[in-house]
Structure 1
Amino acid sequence: MPDADRLIYDLKGLKCPLPVLKTRKRMKTLAPGALIIVETTDPLAIIDIPHFCNEDGHSLEQSEPMGTGHRFVIRKKA
C-alpha cells in the first residue's frame, strides 16, 4: 500500500481499553473507505481490535505480529 494512502496510528505503550477507545475516536475523523494502520503493544488488542471492527462494521484487512506488539490494517466502513 503506498505511503500516501495510509495513516499509521501509533498506540504502542497503551493498555486496554485505550487502544480501542483511541482507534474508535480516530476512525470518526476518517472518510468512508479510508485505511488506518494501528500499531499496539497491548496483548489484549489481538482480541479487542477485531471485536471493535466487527461491532462498528469496519473491515479488518490485515492483522500481523510485529516486534513486541501487533499491527492492524483497518478499512473504515463505507
Structure 2
Amino acid sequence: MTGADRPPAAEGREHGDVVDARGLRCPLPVIRLAAAARDRAAGTRLTVWSTDPAARLDVPAWARMRGHAVVAEEPLPRSGDADAWAITVELGG
C-alpha cells in the first residue's frame, strides 16, 4: 500500500503495521489483529482499520485481556467508509 492509498490516520507512523479489517464483521477484526500480533515484540504498535461498530469495544477488551494497551482511536475520514475507525494497540510484554 502506498502512502497515497493510506487514510490520514495511518500516515506518518514511524513504526507499526496496519491490519485492514474494513468490511469484516465480529469477530474477524480481532482475530486478524491477534494473528498479526502473534510474533511481534513488546512495544510494537498495530493499527486495525475496521468498519464494524463492535470493534470499538472488542479491540480494547482483547487488548486488556492480553496485557496490551490501546493508544489511539480515530475515524478514517477519507477511507471511503463513513464509519471506519483506526484503533492502535501497543503490544505489552
Query: Same-fold call, TM > 0.5?
Result: yes
Bigger strand fraction: 1
Gaps (5+ residues) in structure 1?
none
Gaps (5+ residues) in structure 2?
1-10, 78-82
Q: In the alignment, which residue of structure 2 is the partner of 1:76?
A: 91
Q: In the alignment, which residue of structure 2 is the partner of 1:51?
A: 61
Mean CA deviation greater in 53-62 or 2-11: 2-11
- Number of equivalenced pairs: 78
Q: Report the CA distance shift for 1:2/1:64 in structure 2 as closer, same or farther (over 3 A).
A: closer
| Per-residue deviation, 1:25 | 1.3
- Distance in 2 between residues matched to 1:2 and 1:41, nearest whole Å: 22
Which structure has the larger Rg? 2
| Per-residue deviation, 1:29 | 2.1
TM normalised by structure 2 equals 0.75
| Per-residue deviation, 1:27 | 0.6
Instruction: Report the RMSD for the aligned CA atoms in angstroms.
Output: 1.6
- Distance in 1 between residues matched to 2:63 and 2:42, nearest whole Å: 14
Mean CA deviation greater in 28-37 or 3-12: 3-12
Q: In the alignment, which residue of structure 1 is the partner of 2:5?
A: none
Q: Which ranges of 4 or more aligned residues in structure 1 deviate by more than 4 Å? A: none
TM normalised by structure 1 equals 0.88
- Distance in 1 between residues matched to 2:61 and 2:68, nearest whole Å: 10
**1:1-78 equivalent positions in 2, closer than 5 A:** 2-67=12-77, 68-78=83-93
The 8 Å contact of residues 19 and 32 in structure 2, kept in 1 or not, is answered as no
